[in-house]
Amino acid sequence: MNPDPKAVTAQGYDLQLGVNNIGTWMFTKLLTPILTRTAAAASKSAPGSVRVVWVGSSAAEGMSPRDGVPVAALADQKSYLKQGNMKRYAISKAGNYLHSGEFARRYADTGIVSVALNPGNLDSELWRTQGSLMAWFLRNFILHHPVNGAYTELFAGLSPEAGRNGDWIVPFGRRMPITRDDLVAATKTREDGGSGVGEAFWEWTEEQVKPYL
């Protein structure tokens, strides 16, 4: 979050987009065959136990643009980098939610559960680029101990209560509907009455990683 405004990956992508979305999507892509086999083996003894947990943020709900990810704008990364740094962070976190929803849709018949979460406002290295005054204010009035974020993630990954495809998990281990209807619509295809943005973002991400698979 909030690196140098001009920071990019080795491939030229906005660093937040590359780390938070493209890299994690490719990692998940590589793991999907073994996840599928494991879910099939666990279908009777432990249904819903094989999961992909996508770590989003409250920024997905509070700061991302309509539909979460402006997919068309991603084609020109030099122009995309001109958008505000925190806006790009929020887009990447909305992207985690959209990837989770699209994974849930595409792999619904495999037994793999896909959930996204907001871990909470945590006193972690995420804030290392903030100024000292802002860091002091955040640590004293806003942020929680990092272990609380671990609780959220463990709930998403292990709790029977979080075993529904497409869930949104909030601090510090609760299922809640995401607060924006446009993000919900973005996880649905146009054929199903949604905007199809999640599907488009998935396909865009897939195209980016093709040279490396």
Global pTM value:
0.92
Domain annotation covers residue 154: yes
Each residue's pLDDT tens digit, 1-30:
889 989 999 999 999 999 999 999 999 999
Beta strands, E only, the chain: 51-55, 113-117, 168-170, 174-175
Each residue's pLDDT tens digit, 48-98:
999 999 999 999 999 999 999 999 999 999 999 999 999 999 999 999 999
The pLDDT of residue 36 is 98
Active site residue 57: yes
In sequence order, the β-bridge partners of residue 8 are 14
- Domain of residue 36 covers 15-212
C-alpha to C-alpha distance for 20 and 125, rounded to whole angstroms: 15
Domain annotation covers residue 3: no
Domain annotation covers residue 7: no
The residue from 13, 64, 92, 93 that is catalytic is 93
The domain total for the chain is 1
Active site residue 114: no
The residue from 89, 92, 114, 188 that is catalytic is 89
Domain annotation covers residue 78: yes
Domain annotation covers residue 101: yes
The residue from 13, 57, 188, 195 that is catalytic is 57
Contact 53, 115 (CB under 8 A): yes
Q: What CATH number has the domain bearing residue 179?
A: 3.40.50.720
Domain annotation covers residue 5: no
Active site residue 89: yes
163: confidence class by pLDDT, cuts 50, 70, 90: confident
C-alpha to C-alpha distance for 49 and 158, rounded to whole angstroms: 7
Each residue's pLDDT tens digit, 96-155:
999 999 999 999 999 999 999 999 986 777 656 766 676 666 667 678 899 999 999 999
Domain annotation covers residue 4: no
